[in-house]
Structure 1
Amino acid sequence: MPITTLIILAATCIVSFMAFNNRKLVDDLILWPPAIERKGEYYRLATYGFIHADPMHLLFNMMTLFFFGRAIEPIYAQTLGSFGFALFYLGGLIVSILPTYLKNRRNANYRSLGASGAVSAAVFAFILYAPWARIYVLVLPVPAIIYAVLYVAYSIYMDQHGRDNVNHSAHLWGAAYGVVFTVLANPAVLPHFLGLMSQPRM
């Protein structure tokens, strides 16, 4: 039973729904760099991931977390103990947003929210274990490794050229963190991944 995934999912849904109708709660939790820079409110490097822009933003992130989190949570429990996935997820929130924070430390107009960076970490950790598994993009099944390449290429392009108010940098850093953390936690995953990659199953 992926209990940690369910707890994170429930907590995120509860806080996000509360924040939809509570502007003060959003202001208290959102990543707003000057609050960290001037007031030392470092908790915002994690709490921003528990609020979302709207119900669809929340639904997409939590559905993705549910499917991929429950798949990899047992792996972290085996290698890091009962709190392994919680540690992984919290690290994903922090690491994925750090470059954004450092870039905008003195930008009073910048704000960021949503769990996408940590969710990306979970997806890419899963891909290390099952690169040929099917990931559904809308209704189209795509091999996980192909999805990863397309996702990274799209995120890089949008990070440099996009104007959609989405923090694509967090997606990229979250994905990188997911890979690095997983390899460090379980080095055997790397030869496992390379072995599967040598046996394509399209």
Structure 2
Amino acid sequence: MENIKEKQMLEMIEKMDETSKKHCEASYSFILQYEEFMNETMDDEDCEFCIDERLKQAIRIMDIGKIYIADYILNKGPELTEFERKEIAAHGYNAYRYLKDNEIDNGIPEILLLHTGEKQALQIFSEKEPGKAFPDISKEIRKLARTLGTIDSFIGMIQPRKYRPPFTKEAALSELKRRPKKDADQEIIKYIEHHIILSK
């Protein structure tokens, strides 16, 4: 990703509501801590565990699609209409389209498109771009999207919202464990369970 374009996106995030900004910052901090932990616990000192830079960049800008959603919807709480729910659900698609329109084509648009779930992404894409084929996305990018989606969900649950208090970390972990294994990054879930919760 070209630095100037990343800078533009980060500036847009700065203009967003405080909740979204804190969410991106906390999620980015999480992935850096995970990377540090993995390197500290590796058996082979000659090897280094590195998070894909595309995932790091995607985390920093993952809520860029919310700039297209009305503030009243973002701040409304759980009593959303069907239309409002669809608007929020489309923020991953919005991010994908924004990046594509700005000629960013390094896998990050697809990570953001899929991070809210492949089934949901496919449905929204077909509604937004009827008749157009869904992008051909590699297994590697799909895995990065699952990682982002898992972190996004966990951080979102443990942060307070205007309409609810934060989940405990234990409750958030339970919610993640209820999801089909194919829809969540199991290594991230293990890390949360054994090194964030059990090591307290």
Please indicate, yes or no, whether the TM-score normalized by the shorter chain is above 0.5. no
Report the TM-score when normalising by structure 1.
0.35
**Larger helix proportion, structure 1 or 2?**
1
Relative contact order (C-alpha < 8 Å, sep 6+): which is higher? 1
